[in-house]
Structure 1
Amino acid sequence: MRLWSLHPAVLDRAALVACWREGLLAQAVLGGATRGYTRHPQLERFRACADPVAAIGHFLASVQTEATARKYRFDASRITRPDAANPEIPVTDGQLAFELTHLRRKVAERAPAWLERLPDSAGEVPPAAPSFVVVPGPIAGWERP
């Protein structure tokens, strides 16, 4: 499961689609609708929120908004809490840098033309998804580098 901390606009088609699908799975897990993936480390940051289902709803809504802008048809009715307030989940600049490097490796293999659309990995902090607020720090403890 990869719930990207990077802004959905940075994600290539495959990453955006996978993030949507895996975000829906995370929503089911956080809502108690499935017994699998309940201990997945990517869910820790959503569970730390006062309302985890609302937090994943906000996250999914931002992914769906980007998909719509690209003329993809992600079914917004599948989001349990699409109008949830921004949870402002902390994400470190180190985590964002790690994810950008990870995304660059994947994109280099499957969609090399997308590389030019990605931020420079040696420059400024990559943009975070709307559900996150950037704070200084290393790669997250839940990440599996």
Structure 2
Amino acid sequence: MRLWSLHPRHLDRQGLTGCWRESLLAQAVLAGRTQGYRAHPQLERFRAHPEPLAAVGAYLETLAQDAAARGYRFDASRIAQRPGDAAGLAPIPVTEGQVELEWQHLLAKLAARSPERWEHEAALSGPEVHPVFSVVPGPVESWERAAPTRDDGTAVESTDGQ
């Protein structure tokens, strides 16, 4: 499960559709409608939110809006709790280290499967985060399980045993 902290505008078609499917699964887990993935580490940040279903609903809403802007038809009726005022929703903190890890991870994926998209994204000065998140100082999140990668997609050797 990859619930990107990055704004969906950075994702290619595969990344956007995959994120939509996995976010719907996350919503089902948070609503107690499925037994699978209950202990998935990326759900920790949504569970910690005062309104988990509203937070994942706002997350899904942004994905649906980005998809619509690209001409895709995601079924927004599948969003269980659509935020009435997403601006009034408490943001979910995400660390600078997490954002950087995800950015490098995404660039490696784009380089392999969407070279034109990679060229566009790699030229940016950095990523924008999904609007449900607020960037705070700090290292990679404790729940992250992805191995850090270099720009060429190779794994970075960890010195701390992770």
Structure possessing the higher radius of gyration over alpha carbons: 2
Structure 1 counterpart of 2:59:
59
* TM-score when normalising by structure 1: 0.94
2:107 is matched with 104
Partner of 2:69: 69
* SS of equivalent residue, structure 2 residue 97: helix
Moved over 4 A (4+): none
Opposite residue 56 of structure 2, the aligned amino acid is I
Distance in 1, Cα, partners of 2:62 & 2:90: 12
Identity rate of aligned residues, in percent?
55
Distance 2:57 2:90 in 1: 10
Q: How many residues align?
A: 143
8 Å contact 2:107–2:122 — kept in the other structure?
no
- In angstroms, what is the RMSD of aligned CA positions? 1.3
Structure 2: runs of 5 or more not aligned: 148-162
Aligned twin of 2:2: 2
Q: Relative contact order (alpha carbons < 8 A, sep ≥ 6): 1 or 2 greater? A: 1
- 1:40 counterpart residue number: 40
Gapped runs of 5+ residues in structure 1? none
For the residues of structure 2 that align with 1:116 and 1:62, how far apart are their CA atoms? Answer: 24
CA contact (8 A) 1:96 1:128 kept: yes
